[in-house]
Amino acid sequence: MFSFKQKIPVTVVGGFLGAGKTTLVNHLIKTGNKRFGVIVNEFGDVNVDGALIENMDEEGVTEFSNGCLCCAGRDDLAEAMLKLSLRKNPPQHLLVELSGLADPVPVAQTVLEPQLRHIFDLDGIIGVADARNLEQTLQEIPEGAVQLAYASSIVLNKTDLATPEQLETARKLVKQLNPLGVVTESINADVPAQNQLEQGAFDSDWQPSGHEHTHTKGVSTFTLFQKEPLDALAWNAFMEEMILARPGNVFRAKGFLAFRQIPDEIIFQAVREIVKVTKGTQRHAGNSSLVVIGRGLEEQEYREAFAKLHQPLVQRR
């Protein structure tokens, strides 16, 4: 039976039409020094960019032009991924380029499905933004804020075409929308490939930093703090009720948690329904912090609930 000695990393690339997604994909292929597989999701008659084909044989590229990968196309995506993995020379890295309308989370969920997760590893979600037009785009299409909020890496592209005022506004908007995302500014999507292809976005080496409350159209961000170790059962109830039960409102949550019952620090990460919990690299000092990014959230409700998590559930009754 064929087996994989190492999982194939998967990077999902999203962003608005015209932001430079395909330019970024081409750049990663040219400079990434890996054997790539590429899955492209476009609407209409737009075909895979010729420069991309130039660097790959046609069997390494799969294009969906009649459906959205974030909707009914998930089965097709899984099939395409499996076919690529079973090639004589399977890709060393898989890039999935979304249409400007697609939701990246269902695609990420597909990577984590049982038949795929032993072959593939979700490395990161890239959001490409046009620095010159970002403010106007978000005013006209607020849902664009949601796309950027999911990203683990944000490429702020076309900085050469933006005025100093537009660039500074774009920087502030990106940080407001997603303080967890690693931002790289670029011209023609010329960014260090290694930084985008080796994100390890769900690895355990992340450490929290302070984030102030921010709010922009459609998305708000706040950080919850607790100075006493949490009760594990109380946390589980909080996670189910305040995060997992609200996938349409909580876009991302990421933090460092200290539990009374566990001596090691715990890293919690959630992108909507996708959750990963890993043990940190050292013992905790009793403090916890959790960054929450979402829409329509009552911040005070979250603060009050998080403040009680050091108390066992039975103690509250």
Strands (E), 175-245: 182-185, 214-216, 219-226
Whether the predicted pLDDT of 106 surpasses 70:
yes
The answer to whether 36 and 95 have CB atoms below 8 angstroms apart is yes
Report the distance separating Cα 83 and Cα 8, nearest Å. Answer: 13
How many other C-beta atoms are found inside a 10 Å radius of the C-beta of residue 33? 10
Domains contained in the chain, CATH given: 8-197 (3.40.50.300), 214-316 (3.30.1220.10)
Report the distance separating Cα 14 and Cα 6, nearest Å. Answer: 26
> pLDDT category, 317, cuts 50, 70, 90?
low
pTM here is 0.79
Report the distance separating Cα 176 and Cα 269, nearest Å. Answer: 19
Report the distance separating Cα 200 and Cα 196, nearest Å. Answer: 9
> pLDDT category, 2, cuts 50, 70, 90?
very low
